Amino acid sequence: MASCMMATASSFRPPAVRSRRRAASPATAPYVAPVTTQKTILERIAAGDQAAVQECIDAYGDLIWSLARRFLRNDADAEDAVQDIFIDLWGSSGRYDRSVASEVAFVSTIARRRLIDRLRSFKRKPGMDSLDDEEASDAMQPAVLAPNEEEADVAVVERVLATMEPEHREILSLSLYEGYSHSEIAERLSLPLGTVKTRVRRGLIYIRDQLNITPDSAEEAAS
* Positions 154 through 213 that interact with other proteins (CB under 8 A): 154, 156-158, 161, 172-173, 175-177, 179, 181-182, 197, 200-202, 204-205, 207-208, 211-212
* Chosen residue from 23, 32, 56, 218 binding other proteins by CB under 8 A: 56
Cβ pair 29, 159 in contact under 8 A: yes
Question: Taking CA 176 as the corner, what is the angle to CA 54 and CA 216, rounded to the nearest 5 degrees?
Answer: 80
Provide, rounded to whole angstroms, the least separation between the CB of residue 31 and other proteins: 9
Provide, rounded to whole angstroms, the least separation between the CB of residue 220 and other proteins: 21
Provide, rounded to whole angstroms, the least separation between the CB of residue 95 and other proteins: 10
Residue (of 57, 40, 22, 52) closest to 102 by Cα position: 40
Q: Would you say 149 or 158 has its CB closer to other proteins?
A: 158
Provide, rounded to whole angstroms, the least separation between the CB of residue 128 and other proteins: 16
**Cα–Cα distance between 17 and 208 in angstroms, integer?**
23
**Cα–Cα distance between 31 and 23 in angstroms, integer?**
8
x-marked contacts with other proteins along 74-103 as a string, rule CB under 8 A? --x--xx-xxx-xx--xx---------x--
What is the helix, strand, coil percentage profile of the chain, to 5? 65, 0, 35
Q: Would you say 125 or 208 has its CB closer to other proteins?
A: 208
- Residue 218 touches other proteins, criterion: CB under 8 A: no
Q: Would you say 38 or 173 has its CB closer to other proteins?
A: 173
Q: How far from the centroid of its chain's Cα atoms is residue 32's Cα?
A: 17
Cβ pair 12, 144 in contact under 8 A: yes
Cβ pair 9, 204 in contact under 8 A: no
The residues near 2 (Cβ < 8 Å, ≥ 6 apart) are: none
Choose the stretch contacting other proteins; rule: CB under 8 A; options: 16-24, 36-44, 72-80, 214-222: 72-80
* Chosen residue from 6, 22, 35, 54 binding other proteins by CB under 8 A: 54
* Chosen residue from 64, 72, 213, 218 binding other proteins by CB under 8 A: 64
